[in-house]
């Protein structure tokens, strides 16, 4: 091997900490990795050189021996550098993501063997407008993973037990050693589980879980709207190796109401009134989400005017507050009149005499 300064290759000081060395290597390995630089021989050689440097400096004992050689023999110490080093076989590296399992000690496999939370479930629940406003308890059916009752979750046939994986010794990870370079990966034989089920349970086929149709009673809080997402913690699929159950997410579907329209936290209703009520003013009965109520209409009301009842609107989810009730007036003109009604309206028109378009026509003159 030609003389090389591993510190210069990694771009670190000779007094650099292991964390600094690891950080420098990770940055350079990411920069020159062939997955990032396909068909680039120069980058591939650089990557091998960087990996070679880290295989020595990243190991405290090997770095100590290397530093001693530098101290005693100077820059020529790198020539014929021993410690059992063999040429770097790039083909053994695997994917870019596998490379960085080295830094995490096979973190992927470790997660696989640890207790795992069960899967989350999403289900729709259909509600009437009234139930959405006031809240309700309702029954739903969901497909949910449950612990297999036959094998109690072990995955093994009753009377048998899973055995420790002989390939990884129950660790769930295996290592590819390449000189100073050690790459951790998920054990291919047990798939990271650390155990092998030789005789699978006939009920769950070795998975330890079965999918069952479950009927659940769920409580819907007041104030949900169409599309609201509610999380029910711990009501999802069963966990693995003692892990917690997943969560159940409910998506509410609220049936529209024939009268009330939702406008954010406000509830809007269109209130028909007669010509006489609009002209003279009146006290009229109006439906609200709390039942029937009364509102006062001022004389001279117009179609499109909005009356506001504060705090009488839609409940705010998760609080005691409410929006407003918006009452939009609509003056209803009869489409048919009796002779007596026509005579009265004609008299009114003559008495009033004012053209409501007069100002508009004046402004329109050029």
Annotated binding site for Zn(2+): 148, 151, 165, 168, 187, 190, 201, 204
CA distance 190 to 206: 12
DSSP-H helix ranges across the chain: 6-10, 18-32, 41-57, 60-73, 96-99, 101-104, 107-113, 129-134, 275-280, 339-352, 358-364
Q: How far apart are CA 349 and CA 339, in angstroms?
A: 15
Instruction: Give strand pairing partners of 311.
Output: none
Q: What is the DSSP letter of 75?
A: G
In the numeric block, which tokens belong to residue 33? 């990795």
Whether the CB-CB separation of 260 and 289 falls below 8 Å is answered with yes
CA dihedral defined by 73, 75, 78, 83, rounded to 10 degrees? 40
Between β-strands 248-254 and 229-232, what pairing exists: parallel, antiparallel or unpaired? antiparallel
3-state secondary structure of 199: coil
Q: Locate 343 and state its tokens.
A: 């005579």
Q: Tokens 């999918």 — which residue?
A: 211
Contact, 111 vs 236, CB < 8 A? no
Distance CA 12, CA 109 (A): 31
* End-to-end Cα distance, the chain: 97
φ and ψ at 219, to 5 degrees? -100, 125
Please name the residue ranges forming H helices in 128-253.
129-134
Bridging pattern class, strands 325-332 and 282-288 = unpaired
Q: Indicate the annotated binding residues.
A: 148, 151, 165, 168, 187, 190, 201, 204
d(CA 218, CA 6): 63
Judge contact between 193 and 168, C-beta under 8 A: no
């Amino acid at each position: 091997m030609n003389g090389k300064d591993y510190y210069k290759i990694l771009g670190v000081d000779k007094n650099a900490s292991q964390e600094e060395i690891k950080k420098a290597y990770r940055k350079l390995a990411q920069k020159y990795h062939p997955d990032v630089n396909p068909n680039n021989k120069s980058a591939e050689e650089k990557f091998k050189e960087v990996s070679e440097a880290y295989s020595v400096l990243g190991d405290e004992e090997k770095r100590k021996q290397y530093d001693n050689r530098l101290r005693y023999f100077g820059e020529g110490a790198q020539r014929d550098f021993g410690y059992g080093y063999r040429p770097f076989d790039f083909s053994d590296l695997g994917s870019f993501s596998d490379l960085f399992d080295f830094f995490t000690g096979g973190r992927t496999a470790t997660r696989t063997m640890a207790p795992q939370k069960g899967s989350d479930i999403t289900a729709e629940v259909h509600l009437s407008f009234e139930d959405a406003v006031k809240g309700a308890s309702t029954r739903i059916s969901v497909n949910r993973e449950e612990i297999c009752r036959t094998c109690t979750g072990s995955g093994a046939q009753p009377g048998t037990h899973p055995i420790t994986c002989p390939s990884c010794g129950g660790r769930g990870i295996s290592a590819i050693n390449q000189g100073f370079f050690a790459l951790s990966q998920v054990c291919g034989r047990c798939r990271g589980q650390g155990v092998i089920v030789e005789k699978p349970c006939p009920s769950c086929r070795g998975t330890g879980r079965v999918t069952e149709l479950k009927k659940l009673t769920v409580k819907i809080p007041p104030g949900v709207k169409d599309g609201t997402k509610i999380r029910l913690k711990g009501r999802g699929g069963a966990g693995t190796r003692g892990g917690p159950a997943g969560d159940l997410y409910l998506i509410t579907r609220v049936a529209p109401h024939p009268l009330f329209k939702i406008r954010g936290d406000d509830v809007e209703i269109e209130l028909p009134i007669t010509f006489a009520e609009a002209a003279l003013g009146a006290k009229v009965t109006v439906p609200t989400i709390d039942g029937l109520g009364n509102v006062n209409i001022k004389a001279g009301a117009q179609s499109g005017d909005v009356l506001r009842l504060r705090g009488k609107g839609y409940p705010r989810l998760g609080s005691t507050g409410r929006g407003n009730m918006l009452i939009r007036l609509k003056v209803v003109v009869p489409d048919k009149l009796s002779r007596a009604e026509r005579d009265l309206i004609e008299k009114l028109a003559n008495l009033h005499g004012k053209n409501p378009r007069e100002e508009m026509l004046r402004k329109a003159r050029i």
